[in-house]
Each structure stands twice: as structure tokens, then as C-alpha cells.
Structure 1
Amino acid sequence: MFMVKSDKSQLLKLILSFSGAYLFGITVLHLIPDAYSGTDKEEIGIFILIGFLLQVFLEQFSEGVEHGHIHKHHEGQAFPYGIMVSLCLHAFLEGMPLAKDQHNELIFGIALHHIPAAFALASILVQNHFKKPQIMLYISLFALMAPLGFYVSYGISNGSIGGVEAYFNKMMGVVIGIFLHISTTILFESSVDHKVSKRKMVAVLLGIAVALIGYFTAAHAH
């Protein structure tokens, strides 16, 4: 964790490509249809746009760490607070769709998606001479955000938190917008001349395939 080896960077990129494709597949196959199944479906598109723009805003502070990007920071820069707040908020929102049982397959995709982000965060902390206890604290805080999002979302969807369950689909719209931004950015960035390497293409196709398998398995179960 404390020293991210350069020879692992290609593997992390492939994991990121797989998870991005998987999250995109899950969003299109599961989250969007569910969000539009409610009575307030006319407004869902607005909240998807809000989520998309919110992620654009968050990345002004996270600097793409959620994509596995590693940037060298210098003394005097406001780190890790800007990055940590935006990254934790991002992870919190990503955990929210896990509240519905039929979305358990998201755990796999989100976990994979967070691996490169955790490595990038740890690498930045190491570069900025943070001590190991501090690094463990920040990584643990980041790791807790998605489960926290799940529990808050679960409470909302079951009506046990503040009577805001009526807004659940709209909140999911925001999450969908974030997922769409994250997944498409992962899929289309770092492609030279708009060409995707064979390894990345295989990883993307595998991610879509796993999402489709989950979709058809759930369809047959119903």
C-alpha cells in the first residue's frame, strides 16, 4: 500500500477499465430503469444531470484520484483536505445504490473501482511524506465512506430516516449521473488517437459481459 510499484500500474489500469465498464453496464441495465420506475420519473433526468455536474465539480478538488490518477503535490498546497473531502463524498454517494438487494452485484464493481483510487491516494500521501499511521487513517476513512453511504441510503429507502424516502429515486438520479461521468471518463480517457489497446478492450468487454450476466440472471430469477 505504502509504495505503489510502477510495474503494477498497467494492472491497475486494466482493473480500472474493467470496473468502469462494469459500472456503466450496471447503471444502464439496473439503476436507470429502477430510477424511472417511480412516479416522479419526469424529473429524474434533471437529477442525473445534477449528479454528472456534481462529479465534474468534485474532480476540481480530487484531481481525478477516483480514476486512479496520481499527481505530485508540493508543500503549501491544500492537501489532503480538498482531495479527501471530495473523494469521501464521491465514495459515500457510490455506496448509496447498494441499499437495494437486487444491486448486490454493485459491491463487486465499486470495490474494484476503489482499488486504483486507494493506491493513488496512498501514493500521494507517501509522496508528501505522511507517516504510516496517518496514511492508514486516511485510507480507512475513504474505505468507510461507501458502507456509510449504504447504511444511510438503506435507512432512507425504508423510511427510517427523516421521512425522505419520497426523494430516494431523485437521490439515485444524482448517483446515476456520477456513475455515468466516472465510468465514461475511465473508458474514454488515456486513449491515444481515440484508439483503445487490446488489453483495455478485453477488460472493457469483460466488464460489460459480467454486467450482462448479472442482468440476465436477475431477469430469470424474477
Structure 2
Amino acid sequence: MIWQSLLLFFAAFLGGASVFLFRGDNHKTLRLILSFSGAYLFGITVLHLVPDAYHGNDNYVGVFILIGFLFQIVLEQFSDGIEHGHMHAHDHAAFPIGIMISLCLHGFLEGMPLAQGYQNQLVFGIALHHIPAAFALATVLINNKQSRNGVLFYVFLFAIMAPAGYFFSDALSRGGIGNLQHYFNRIMGVVIGIFLHISTTILFEAGPDHKFNRRKLIAVLLGVAVAVGGFVYEL
């Protein structure tokens, strides 16, 4: 899992650091990456994570999926949709504490499913998703008059969250943290709910008036196709 963790970290960190190279509001490539990753995450969640979560015949998994979905809505009250690539200015006095706590928790939880054995597929989707998210975070930090070093520090903090989530989840699934491994599927249910909210929001907000243009439609279809291709390959 070393190279996967490094990929997760550098995708987010370099995605955020690239804000110093690309200025302006026209980030079409990042939006296409976001659309692709949203579709890919949705496909992976439906094809892999949901069936696995129900594999243990736990009837309460669905409840925790709903909890995760609603929990992400709460997180977005503080992050203002940066996870989706939104770039809004915020009141400097209230920033970045709420946004950083929300984003770091979001990133930590997103890394948890990697312990379930779908690293090569999920790590790719999460890494792609974190590129525009980190770019949006850095943009908001700059708009709120953070210094260059401050921007890099907060981006670094966000970048280490997904790998940290993986290592925590791996220890949890192996029984290395108390007896919490008995509740692993319910914890995964929360993560599934978060993934469902993030991916569907990205898809619904794919363009003006919630309409797809041709390039974004192709990006979404490619994301789904890659997820289905990986699923078929494993059969």
C-alpha cells in the first residue's frame, strides 16, 4: 500500500500546490477530472463497496449508509462544497478552522475503504477526486489572504488524511484497535453514504442548469466504463 498512499498524498498535494501555476476561473480540465472521478467513485461504490458491506448479513448497514449520506451534508455546511471543486471566498475571521476540520474528516473517511482490498481501483478514483478538491481549497485559502506557506501547510494537512484513513481502517479490519473490527461493515456503511453523496452531487452539478455538455458527458461515461471494466475483470 506504500505506492498507493504516496499517490493519494501527491495527487492532493500537487493538485493544491498547482494553484500557484494556474490562476483564473477557467479550469476546464479540472472540471473534467472531477466529473470523471465522480462517475468512477459512484461505479465503484455500487459495484464493490455496497455488496461487500452487506456480505456479513448485517441488517443495520443501510441505516449507517443513510447516516453517512446525511453526515456529508452536515460537513458541507462547513466546507461549502470544496469537496466538489467549488471555489468560494469566505469570511477571513471564520476561516480556515471549520473548512479544514470538515475536509480533513472527509479525506480521512474516504481513505478507509482502501483496506477492503480494492486499492488499485479506489485509490485512482479518490486521487483524481482530491486533485480539484485540493485546488479549490488552495484557491479559497489564497482568496482569504493566507500566505504561500500557509496554503501549502493546509494542503499538506488535507493530503495526508486519506492515507491516514487507510492505515486506521487497515488496523481496524485486522483487529488491531480493540474490538472495533466487529463494526467494520457499519463504519464502511458511513463511508458508502459519503461516497454516494459526493459522487451524485458532482454528477448533478456537472454544468450550468445541471446539464451535461458533450465533453463532460464523455468524461462521466468513461468514469463509469472504467469502473465496470474493473468489475468485469475481477469476475
Q: TM-score, normalised by structure 1?
A: 0.94
Question: Structure 1 unaligned runs (5+)?
Answer: none
Give runs of ≥4 in structure 1 deviating > 3 Å. Answer: 190-194
CA distance in 2, matches of 1:190, 1:212: 21
Output one character per residue of 1:147-194: Cα deviation in whole Å (capped at 9) or x when no partner.
000000000001111111000000000000000000000001154444
One of 154, 177, 185 as aligned partner of 1:169: 185
Q: Which amino acid aligns with 1:199?
A: R
Query: Is structure 2 residue 109 aligned with structure 1 residue 93?
Result: yes
Question: Structure 2 unaligned runs (5+)?
Answer: 1-17
One of 46, 55, 58 as aligned partner of 2:72: 55
CA distance in 1, matches of 2:189, 2:122: 16
Deviation at 1:8, TM superposition (A): 5.0
CA distance in 2, matches of 1:118, 1:23: 17
Deviation at 1:9, TM superposition (A): 1.1
Percent sequence identity over matched residues?
A: 61
Q: TM-score, normalised by structure 2?
A: 0.89
CA distance in 1, matches of 2:211, 2:26: 22
CA distance in 2, matches of 1:155, 1:71: 37
Superposition map of 1:139-218 within 5 A: 139-218=155-234
SS at match of 1:196: coil
One of 107, 114, 120 as aligned partner of 2:123: 107
CA distance in 2, matches of 1:190, 1:201: 9
CA distance in 2, matches of 1:168, 1:217: 26
RMSD of the TM alignment (CA)? 1.3
Count how many residue pairs are aligned between Structure 1 and Structure 2.
217
SS at match of 1:73: coil
8 Å contact from structure 2 (residues 49, 192) kept in 1: yes
CA distance in 1, matches of 2:109, 2:19: 26
Which stretch has the larger CA shift, 98-107 or 44-53?
98-107
CA distance in 2, matches of 1:194, 1:143: 29
